[in-house]
Chain A
């Protein structure tokens, strides 16, 4: 039983309402449907009381019980800001609806807000969805006494850039401080602030350190508003003062149609709103889901959506012409037939492996999983288009699939959150914001096993246990004994997918959870990863968490599918599939949404694709895989199909199609076409049908796969003058789903190498370094950080072809030389 909530009862406009103690009057009024006009108030930000629009008349019971009006100066009713006033027992509130004086006070404030406002609504992005415009109508007057008396407005030069993405029109700004409070409180990116005072007060960025030009215009000399979450300020700005380079002047709100969606850029499952016009996405906004992302999204979720409209988008199926050897356009039926024929032959010539990538909706993932088992008769399927390990596959089967041990809300309640192999600001923005909320509230302590104190970890005030990559297992094993760190039932451990490359780390995390009672969650990077686990896109898992190695589980799924049996031999994982294709052991490949650069060995992968007897590729855009494939199917982007992503928590998130585009078909439709040709129909052709079948197959209620044992630690010896290379993907980098978003790309963090102070000293002040690894070399600017002396860090995919393709193999070391 939870504690009963202490409540107070007050009267608002004659209506009694009981609310939890510490409720603000403005919120209490909302409970009974009374809307008090407001600007600075925002339910997720600390109250400011700045705009004074929400004034109401208030009386409080005195010691003798009689009501006493709040006054000031004495004798004069003093209206109170309802956004800062906490409701108390017996309080009597009269809003604009029942108090002429409160109404007058609100009209007075509204009149003043408008005197210096440019009233350029007809050319303002916010016009039509503007709280100032709307509330000026509902709580203001039609005539302007300021104008009548010949008043002169304060003017500013029209918008200035405060980042490459965000523009600020200071004339429109009503200095409500929502943007600055957001920046300070939510992500902790205090790069914007109030400047000047009086009517000149404005939002601004800092002048650059050497700058003489203050109130910073970026183009003049300013330090940008460098935040991964900056776009939220545009959304919460109650006027059109903040706009984005991306959307500015592109459309009017009343011409847009809004469809709710789920962000596809990470495993957070953030609720978004997709605003579109005539079949084109114009912008994306944050949705409002208190259980998941609250009202905030990352800039990537907001601004990165042009990838679906790039010129190299595939529009029709392609087949390799037998005569020319070139890919040529084909009809869908032809492509189905060619693919079916080729796959049948490849199956006979050793089998076909399936690589699915991590960006699929769960329904598509399910289709691949079923296609592999029922059409290709194999467990050779893996969604992990990144370095992975057998230990990880076992971990996913024994610890992750079908579980939901930790929710966002749990992050806020946990006393300690241990992060390992996960930099949440870069890799899972909504987790980062939730952790920041939790740590700011003083409830939660973050402990991170990481190679250096990243900006995100610093903003979480995390205790960072500096750890070279590969040493995570040892760090986890030592964690419970570590002074100052408590790991118990009030602890949550978030293990990032990067741990797959750190031998023993995932097993150590599971052992830690088991021995301490801590709850453990696995946090992948991509939106489709967890759904792929649940639907069995793994060599050791069938749909619904059924272990391949469990005969009863195989019978269960075969029965559900109405077939005799599913293959019982454990499949090859992604690396093994590629190796087998390269050696000719496998006759063919089905590849969906896999970027070769992301794989453990891009060169080997490329060679495998080239060597494979027959390759079917399903992709959004032309890639190295489609160019080498024998049959290519274009597949629909998330806007063109309904679907489901499963969050890192294990929470299903469904969404509807935004557009109905004929010919833009989900992966599962293409698979169904091939399966039909081969006489083994999948049993569904639409997302809805696939989802219904998934639900019907349901979760496995038999025994889970047993916990794996840690593989023997590989001997790790660092040769002299070599450094372990730590790396992860920054939120904004060269990822394919950020293609085409120039302003967004301009806000990405610079690619730098981070070295320890002693390494830097040995470099004698070099401002750039060349890293040399087993796959090449990369030269980048260098910065000092608290990385261990035997480690250097760089972003995985912010430079050239990225670390795995151009510098070093997973878990390897590099040399560092001043450049």
Chain B
């Protein structure tokens, strides 16, 4: 069995730890039969017959599992915030809105092995005493929605879902809900509003979802990968999970390698692996090219450069380097890429996706895009260049930490970090002819069509 979805045998078994991705190459891996043939739903049977809900919470706490949706909040702790004396129903909501530029792990996971998530949902719901769970899927990925629905149907038929699951007396209904394609609906409170049928905009906190979330009832919201990790923890124990990774960043995660690498794809490895190791696994950069900049966890995490190649990819180390581990969406850019152009594209995304609720993000992204577009086209004078870059940084200073939610904060990351590392490249755009790069050189077809590189 190969170790990742994309490698063709080059992976070093010692570095990769395929758990979630382990069955992706199985024959019709998305079916219940294939999943159960690989040992699927064993954890569920074990839990329902031998474990109390609190024991699962303790296991997840002890495992050190941290949220895989970006912020890295300890999952077991989040579950323990659910007030069990609250008379309202409890809900589990899985965040499958995956829309961050570069992030592409949840969708392949749900395509290849939807039952991993469904089993995780059942275990997690059992732990927090929820009888209703929801998976909120990004609306554009209709194929994923279909696959999840089919899996849920299979799970009901097999008695994994529904009333009195496997005679345990525990009931659970699971609903697959398709969003309408808005990045902001991945923000957990906007997601709740959207799930309730409202306009998706972030809510004021407090109250936190753990106390008043979906339908003003105690709610746990977790990422697809977080929830999908639960069956393996229940099956193999907290110690097994905690034996992987680093001291504070435990376990395995999916790293999504994209961009100018030979073999982009999903690489499942312990936290703390370095980009250099991952690039090796991915066959290295495109032939004849070298790494220029990269994002450790999607476009909202500040850019890093080759100097960070040997930095362990765990929450603490990436934080110390001034960025964030985020969703481990490693977008790799080589020297053919104009950083100004890349940042402008990202900012156009944020401008388009800003929900509009708060001034700094709504207006700030509108203005940042205008300045970046002019910079790209070289429409400022060279002698005002420094001043414009300072203005860019000051605009970001007026957004970061002032916006209502993290979308606005995230929008500043590419700008601030790129100016930090590539100030001269910005200014070079003002030397005359605008962008000094050939935009075609960075494309995937550049090699094929012999564009001068």
Contact = CB atoms under 8 A, between A and B. Distances in A.
Interface in A423-446: none
Contact of A196 (B356, B358, B397, B400): B356
Contacts of B367: 112, 115, 146, 151
A52 B391 contact: no
Given A79-B402, A146-B367, A197-B182, A112 B204 contact: no
Nearest to A201: B356
Give the interface size bracket for A toward B. 35 or more
A199 B359 contact: no
B362 A198 contact: yes
Interface in B334-391: 351-360, 362-367, 370-371, 374, 379-380, 388, 391
A199 B366 contact: yes
A489 interface: no
B401 A76 contact: yes
Interface string A34-59: 00000000000001111111010000
B359 A52 contact: yes
Given A112-B359, A112-B360, A113-B359, A50 B353 contact: no
A104 B204 CA distance: 24
Does more than half of chain B's interface fall in helix, strand or loop, or is it mixed? helix
B264 to A, nearest CB: 29
Contacts of B317: none
Given A115-B367, A197-B355, A175 B362 contact: yes
A121 interface: no
Contact of A154 (B182, B366, B404): B366
Interface string A135-174: 0000000000110011110100000000000000000001
A198 B355 contact: yes
A108 B398 contact: yes
A193 B199 CA distance: 9
Contact of A105 (B204, B353, B398): B398
Nearest to B388: A149
Given A47-B204, A109-B398, A193-B199, A52 B358 contact: yes
Contact of B204 (A49, A52, A72, A199): A49
Given A145-B391, A149-B371, A152-B370, A112 B401 contact: no
Nearest to B201: A194
Contact of A50 (B358, B366, B409): B358
A221 B1 CA distance: 61
A201 B361 CA distance: 12
A148 B388 CA distance: 11
B202 to A, nearest CB: 9
Contacts of B356: 175, 194, 196-201
B8 to A, nearest CB: 40
A198 B370 contact: no
Contacts of A113: 359, 363
Given A197-B354, A197-B356, A199-B351, A116 B401 contact: no
B403 interface: yes
B401 A198 contact: no
A315 interface: no
Interface in B172-211: 182, 184, 199, 201, 204
Contacts of B401: 72-73, 76-79
A557 to B, nearest CB: 59
A146 B374 CA distance: 13
Given A112-B364, A152-B370, A198 B352 contact: yes
B354 to A, nearest CB: 4
A84 interface: yes
Interface in B124-160: none
A200 B353 CA distance: 11
A363 interface: no
Contacts of B409: 73
A763 to B, nearest CB: 35
A217 interface: no
Contacts of A146: 367
Interface in A170-195: 174-175, 193-194
Contacts of A194: 199, 201, 356
A108 B391 contact: no
A201 B362 contact: yes
Contacts of B397: 104, 108
Contacts of B357: 50, 175, 201
Contacts of B398: 104-105, 108-109, 111-112
A111 B404 CA distance: 17
Contacts of A50: 357-359, 404
A197 B199 CA distance: 10
A78 B405 CA distance: 12
B194 to A, nearest CB: 12
A113 to B, nearest CB: 5
B33 to A, nearest CB: 43
A176 B366 CA distance: 17
Contacts of B402: 52, 55, 79, 105, 108-109
Contacts of A108: 360, 394, 397-399, 402
B359 A198 contact: no
Contacts of B182: 197
B366 A198 contact: yes
Contacts of A152: 370
Contacts of A52: 358-360, 402-404
B434 to A, nearest CB: 16
B343 to A, nearest CB: 17
B360 A109 contact: yes
Interface in A508-560: none
Contacts of A77: 401
A239 to B, nearest CB: 13
A59 to B, nearest CB: 15
A109 B401 CA distance: 12
A73 B359 CA distance: 19
Nearest to A195: B199
B359 A109 contact: yes
Interface string A723-739: 00000000000000000
B269 to A, nearest CB: 26
Contact of A53 (B359, B363, B366, B374): B359
Contacts of A154: 366
Nearest to B350: A198
Nearest to B404: A49
A201 B363 CA distance: 11
Contacts of B394: 108
Nearest to B403: A52
Contact of B363 (A72, A79, A84, A199): A199
A38 to B, nearest CB: 12
A51 B366 contact: no
Task: Point out which of A51, A84, A108 has the most chain B C-beta atoms below 10 A from its C-beta.
Answer: A108
B391 A149 contact: yes
A447 B401 CA distance: 48
A49 B359 CA distance: 10
A84 B202 CA distance: 14
B159 to A, nearest CB: 41
Contacts of A149: 370-371, 374, 380, 388, 391
A49 B391 CA distance: 26
A141 B273 CA distance: 49
21 contacts: A49-B358, A51-B358, A72-B401, A108-B397, A109-B359, A109-B402, A112-B360, A149-B374, A149-B388, A150-B370, A151-B367, A174-B359, A193-B199, A197-B182, A197-B184, A197-B353, A197-B355, A198-B362, A198-B365, A198-B366, A199-B362
The 7 closest A-B CB pairs, nearest first, are: A201-B356, A108-B398, A112-B363, A198-B354, A199-B366, A78-B401, A197-B356
Interface of A: 47-53, 55, 72-73, 76-79, 84, 104-105, 108-109, 111-113, 115-116, 145-146, 149-152, 154, 174-175, 193-194, 196-201
Given A104-B398, A112-B398, A150-B370, 11 more contacts: A49-B404, A52-B359, A52-B402, A112-B360, A113-B363, A115-B363, A150-B374, A152-B370, A196-B356, A197-B353, A198-B354
